[in-house]
Amino acid sequence: MSCLVVKFGGTSVATIERVMHVARRIQKEKEKGYDIIVVVSAMGKATDMLVDMAHEIMPNPSKREMDTLLTTGEQVTSSLLSIALQSLGLRAQSFTGWQAGVLTEAVPADARILDIQPENVRDALGRGRIAVVAGFQGVDDKNNITTLGRGGSDTTAVALAVALGAKRCDIFTDVDGVYTSDPRYVPKARKLQELSYDEMLELANLGAGVLHPRAVEYAKNYNIPLAVRSSYVADEGTIMREEVEVEKGLVVRGIAFKSDIIRLTVSYDANYNGSLANIFTILADSHINVDLIVQTIIEGVEPSVSFSIIKENLADTIRVLEENKSKLGYSHVHIEENLAKVSIVGSGIVSNPGVAAKMFDRLHRENILVKMVSTSEIKISVVIPQEAMLHAANALHDEFELAASLAIQA
């Protein structure tokens, strides 16, 4: 029988009432004839409560002990949901990470899954049981309990789907799919029926926030269809696959945006002849993520390099630059705050050379100043003044006719 992995996040299981709702939802999927593996997060604020208790003892508790502490949250949900399924007359069995054979690196708090040995899960499915697996957790080779870091339950779901050869992995959440843009700020945004893993990765990294990039990468690497669906609305949601049909004339599939971007420009004397790349090595060593980079070397002009960072990293970045000033040999640093990044994402961008021009032209017509540009095969990002962010996002959403295709589909 073909199997389906379904994952429910913390808000979907925040109360016993919602756990019952999820159980009935699973019952419907089970009635379609699939073997079902459910992956669950901790109930609502359970994880926060556990973190608060530990912080009441000390500000920086051991990561190993935090992992042992926090994984109880998902374990509680897995047993309660199993009981809820049993109360509907279904057979169900809970699994902790180690019971489900989720083997990880020995890296507390942010382990990657190394292997899944799903014999026990497969055995339960063989007995007609729904397997309810605690997400976000695994076990290392020394039998320490580990956690997978942010978005970890999504990764558990995809990894189990891969290990069990599932037909699909459905991530049930409080949104009903992936949108062409954030509908809170781009009123014409519409739900996408499908998109490619790479498009989702760009959207996820750009802050669309629906799925964790690691889970999408995992699905892409093993080519597992991955769907984002609503816990509350009966609807197919958005499905991610390797190859997706480019909807009629639609080269751009989504518009992402992010505020609180800062541009730093590091300038050197005109006669400086070292490498401008040293700065990025030093920042990387300090775990500071640099996003867009623009380098200017014109003969006779002071060489400079500009890069964007997120606001949270500003203090660290300044400190690292000052500590390394003599080593780097720059003359001064200029900081520009209140910027935003707006990106267009679509698999069709690489094969449509006019896309970038169309984007810049529209921004120009809207009187939006482009401060930095970065392009990839499926993405073009611009850094612009923050006050123009939503204006730009809506204008580009119109420009690339993302709303219009809704009419075509209807």
Interface positions with its own copies (CB under 8 A): 16, 19-20, 50, 53-54, 56-58, 61-62, 64-66, 68-69, 71-72, 75-76, 78-80, 82-84, 86-87, 93-94, 96, 98-99, 120, 142-145
Considering the complex, what minimum distance in angstroms separates the CB of residue 123 from its own copies? 9
How far apart are CB 92 and its own copies at their closest, in Å? 8
* Least spacing, CB of residue 148 vs its own copies, in Å: 17
Nearer to its own copies, 58 or 234 (CB): 58
Contacts of 166 (CB under 8 A, 6+ apart): 2, 3, 4, 5, 37, 160, 224
Q: Give me the least distance between CB of 31 and its own copies, in Å please.
A: 20
Between residues 76 and 403, which has the closer beta carbon with respect to its own copies? 76
Toward its own copies, which CB reaches closer, 100 or 227?
A: 100
Q: What is the residue whose two structure tokens read 């996820």?
A: 204
Distance of closest approach, residue 333 Cβ to its own copies, in angstroms? 39
Tell me if 302 sits within 8 A of 269, measured CB to CB. yes
Cα separations in angstroms, 231 against 9, 24, 25, 44, 64: 9, 11, 8, 14, 32
Q: Give the shortest CB-138-to-its own copies separation in angstroms.
A: 14
Task: State in angstroms the smallest separation of the CB of 71 from its own copies.
Answer: 8
Q: What share of the chain is helix, strand, coil (3-state, %, to 5)?
A: 40, 25, 35
282-320 burial: b if 16+ Cβ within 10 Å, else e: bbeeeebebbbebeeeeeeeebbbbbbbbeebbeebeeb
Where in 245-328 does DSSP place strands (E)?
254-267, 293-296, 304-310
Nearer to its own copies, 149 or 207 (CB): 149
> CA–CA separation, 17 vs 22, rounded Å?
9
- Tokens 């994402």 correspond to 345
Minimum CB distance to its own copies smaller for 139 or for 192: 139
Identify which of residues 65 and 269 has a Cβ nearer to its own copies in the complex: 65
Residue 62: CB minimum distance to its own copies, A: 6
Tokens of 310: 């997120």
Length, in residues, of the chain = 410
Return the number of the residue (66 or 383) whose C-beta is nearest its own copies: 66
Question: Angle CA(148)–CA(153)–CA(155) in degrees, nearest 5?
Answer: 70
Name which of 393, 403, 335, 402 is nearest 368 in CA terms: 393
Residue with tokens 């949601």: 237
- Given the complex with its own copies, which of 3 and 43 has the nearer CB atom? 43
User: 3-class DSSP state for residue 149?
Assistant: coil
